[in-house]
Amino acid sequence: MKIKDTEIKIMQADITELEVGAIVNAANNKLVMGGGLAGAIKKKGGKSIEDEAVKKGPIEIGQATFTSAGSLKAKYVIHAATMGMDFSRLSNRTSGGIPPWAGKTDEIKIRDSCKNALKVAEELKIESIAFPALGCGVGGFPLLAAAKIMAQEVFRHLKAEPSGLKEIIFCLYDKEAFDIFNKGVVAYLEYIIHKLQNGPFTTVDAIIEIEPDVIVVIERSNPPFGLALPGGFVDYGESLEDAVVREAKEETDLDLSDLKQFHTYSEPDRDPRFHTIGTVFLAKAKGKPQAGDDAKGLKIVKLSEVENLDFAFDHKKIIQDYIKYRQGKSPF
């Protein structure tokens, strides 16, 4: 399976035998390599790995650092702190259904340690990294939950920005863990890639009133043609508010202020291209309106003229709803 240019693999193997840019050690925050995977890495790669790691510790739980890999085939070991040194379960001797692994590691610690291990890998400029099941050994976290958390973080990392990683491996030692990860990671990523990425897509639009009963609309340069409210798609990692401010600036050269969410429109056929869910904002603006690169033209329109104009998408209905709202009537 590939996400952009990065191959995602799940394999059953001994992670200490892999010839990759880095293997990830599910570490404690003091980076002392005792039992579990950490002990296996130290035994096979040499105590020099632990000596180098301890000099860099302690680190915050959820953070990651790296060391050389001693006599291992990997170039580096990335130590991702999924837990603290205190493995006491006294905090779990309470009522309320607290799972037995609580207090050792949890979703946030695993999520952060995976995220930060990927960041370290990018800083090292390596092309391959191998993960164990973070938090599922000494940490005792459920395998399927860890698989989904790690799959989410890998997807988020690769989606957010260009990556130098060509290969991300989930390496499981035994068949049970392999089967769970193979199902959990692959099925989850396939759902995200093949289902969620097909939409619906998130959009924003702005009703910009520059004078009482006067709004700004653009003339679209791309199909579907016609007049439209300034707006567009929300970029990955961008808030709705940031997106509508950016789109308005790009299309009208206006700086928005006094943003207020008006309504979200989600009818599947509102956009003839594909299913979009659009949130409309009311806004004031500063500056002189002029068409930007993303617009063919720009018009200043009185609300009383809207009925006689041709709009793309469902933007005439949106403006009609706004007029009702201005009149004190409920449009929804």
> Whole-angstrom Cα distance, residue 161 to residue 174?
33
Q: What is the pLDDT of residue 187?
A: 85
Helix (H, G, I), strand (E, B) or coil at 145: helix
> Whole-angstrom Cα distance, residue 315 to residue 271?
10
Q: What CATH number is given to the structural domain containing 115?
A: 3.40.220.10
331 is a domain residue: no
CA angle 284, 285, 291 (to 5 degrees): 130
Where among 169, 198, 227 does a domain terminate?
Answer: 198
Q: What is the pLDDT of residue 86?
A: 58
Give the pLDDT means over successive 10-residue stretches in the chain (332 positions). Answer: 94 97 96 91 97 96 97 98 68 40 74 96 98 89 90 90 95 94 88 78 96 94 88 92 96 96 96 91 95 85 95 96 95 92
Q: Check whether residue 184 and residue 250 sit in a common domain.
A: no
213 is a domain residue: yes
Q: Check whether residue 46 and residue 86 sit in a common domain.
A: yes
Tokens of 315: 């933007």
Where among 170, 198, 226 does a domain terminate?
Answer: 198
Query: Does the predicted model carry a pTM greater than 0.75?
Result: no
163: nearest Cα among 7, 19, 16, 323: 7
Structural domain for 320, as ranges: 201-326
Q: Check whether residue 124 and residue 182 sit in a common domain.
A: yes
Q: Check whether residue 45 and residue 190 sit in a common domain.
A: yes
Q: Check whether residue 122 and residue 97 sit in a common domain.
A: yes
Tokens of 260: 């207020």
332 is a domain residue: no
> Whole-angstrom Cα distance, residue 301 to residue 11?
61
Beta-strand pair 64-68/295-302: unpaired
Helix (H, G, I), strand (E, B) or coil at 309: coil
Q: Check whether residue 268 and residue 182 sit in a common domain.
A: no
Q: Check whether residue 241 and residue 137 sit in a common domain.
A: no
Q: What is the pLDDT of residue 199?
A: 79
DSSP β-bridge partners for residue 66: 78
Q: Check whether residue 73 and residue 188 sit in a common domain.
A: yes
| Side chain identity at residue 209, one-letter code | E
CA angle 256, 262, 267 (to 5 degrees): 120
Helix (H) or strand (E) holding 112: helix 107-124
Q: What CATH number is given to the structural domain containing 223?
A: 3.90.79.10
DSSP β-bridge partners for residue 2: 7
> Whole-angstrom Cα distance, residue 70 to residue 287?
61
Where among 198, 217, 240 does a domain terminate?
Answer: 198
Q: Check whether residue 208 and residue 189 sit in a common domain.
A: no
Q: Check whether residue 128 and residue 256 sit in a common domain.
A: no
Do 188 and 154 form a contact (C-beta atoms < 8 A)? Answer: no
